[in-house]
Amino acid sequence: MQKLVIDGGVPLEGEIFLHGAKNSALPILAAALLCNGETTLENCPRLTDVFAACRILTHLGGRCTIQEHTVTVQVRALRSDTIPEALMQEMRSSIIFLGAVLGRAGTCHVSYPGGCELGPRPIDMHLEALRQMGARFSVCGGQLDCTVPDGLHGAVIHLPFPSVGATENVLLAAVLAKGETVLHNAAREPEICDLAAFLRKCGAKISGEGESTIRIEGTERLHGCVHAIMPDRIAGITYLGAAAITGGTLCLKGTDAQPMENMLPTLEQMGCRLYPEPDRLHLLAPRRLRAVPFLRTMPHPGFPTDAQAIFMAMLSLADGVSVLEENIFENRYRHVDALVKMGARIHVSGRTAVVAGVRALSGAAVSATDLRGGAAMVLAGLAAQGRTEVRQISHIDRGYETMELVLRSVGAQIVRKDVPSEGLLRI
């Protein structure tokens, strides 16, 4: 196990190059299963979740090579239609392989994905949508067995909620299905658009992505392509937040403002000045951030749930009281206890968190609870007085490439250290 040790109070200043988006790379790696031939993904982030997805691809019969930020996938034929539990458990979003394996093999066997730190992660919408396309499921002993007796066929599907994962699974199942699929109430996240752009390069017939209705005309076969993964908008807002919370300045390169356009107005409302350019974005933080009266998370284009913890860390030090409302996940306030331990004044009631900004936070020993909650603790540690230790940083490594090296490059006093295992201490 490892931890991040942070000595806070240093205003960040400098340039950061933003890595590719985890939440785009993962569904696109699953989509590579559908392609005959070689697929090259550029700007692919070096993250534990991406490496886990490559292991699933390899198990299924793909050949993955990772060189720096380029992943090449070669799929000639599937070797298996089964994803073993160990691989399924390595990352929560492995369920997005279901649509791709069904689309390619017509059968799929996966362990039923469990919940995660964000609460139960049901897949009812995924299964109901795929059932309408001809899939049949049985669950036995935690194993989900899927078949498509008459092959996958197009359908008119209405998602009860614009689920990102369910939208991705429908896209992956529909591109090789017979006939047209019309998906209503589809998720509109930018990562869905990136997936659709990738599939279109491979020969898929897709229109409407980014809007609530997506149309997919099934084709016979898909070929490989070369595709650059879009920038990671959540990692981007995380690093902008690191400069904002420390009263610093940052030039974020490798992206323009567009992927973060539903978060930047809130940063400006908090007193940050932003200067967008075609391939970079500058941020100038105020001496002290201002509170935001009300911030609710919503499906895209609303304020993203993945940014909630990041903004809560910033608002913990803002001048005034902010009210946050988490409307996407049931259990996405697990970072609050750690922020309170560092001196934040936060009260949670159901989906609502009231944050009364304080003048200063104090460093403390905390443990990351989930990916974005862990990032929020790092941001709080960067601004806190004294030393903060963030443990369980495997959560953070799922979504941020060597966060400590990136932050150190702009002046943060942060190092990664090994944590001796409990067993050794007993000896």
Of residues 161-190, those binding ligand EPZ (CB under 6 A): 161, 163-166, 187, 189
* Position among 23, 255, 308, 369 found at the interface with ligand EPZ (CB under 6 A): 23
Residue nearest to ligand EPZ (CB): 165
In 3D space, the residue among 49, 67, 69, 47 whose CA is nearest the CA of residue 57 turns out to be: 49
Judge whether 146 counts as a catalytic residue.
no
Strand-pair partners of 4: 390, 416
Strand-pair partners of 290: 319
**At 159, phi and psi to the nearest 5?**
-75, 135
CA 64 – CA 41 distance, rounded (Å): 11
Contact present, 7 and 384 (Cβ < 8 Å): no
Amino acid at 320: G
> Tell me, what DSSP letter sits at residue 294?
E
Q: Which stretch binds ligand EPZ (CB under 6 A): 73-81, 116-124, 269-277, 407-415?
A: 116-124
* Position among 15, 124, 211, 261 found at the interface with ligand EPZ (CB under 6 A): 124
Report, in Å, the least distance between residue 123 CB and ligand EPZ. Answer: 5
Which position among 35, 54, 108, 116 bears the catalytic label? Answer: 116
What the block records as the tokens of 22 is 């985890």
226-228 vs 222-223, strand pairing mode: unpaired
* Position among 26, 44, 174, 237 found at the interface with ligand EPZ (CB under 6 A): 26
User: Angle at the Cα of 334 (from 331 to 338), degrees rounded to 5?
Assistant: 170
CA 327 – CA 336 distance, rounded (Å): 16
Q: Which is nearer to ligand EPZ, 79 or 158 (CB)?
A: 158
Q: Which is nearer to ligand EPZ, 308 or 316 (CB)?
A: 308
* 276-315 footprint of ligand EPZ as x/- string (CB under 6 A): -----------------------------xx---------
Does 114 participate in binding ligand EPZ (rule CB under 6 A)?
no
Where does residue 77 rank: exposed (0-12), middle (13-18), buried (19+ CB within 10 A)?
Answer: exposed
Does 260 participate in binding ligand EPZ (rule CB under 6 A)?
no
* Position among 84, 114, 122, 179 found at the interface with ligand EPZ (CB under 6 A): 122
Per rule CB under 6 A, count of chain residues that contact ligand EPZ: 24
3-state secondary structure of 42: strand
Residues assigned a catalytic role: 116
Q: Which positions touch ligand EPZ (CB under 6 A)? A: 22-23, 26, 93, 121-126, 161, 163-166, 187, 189, 305-306, 328-329, 371-372, 399
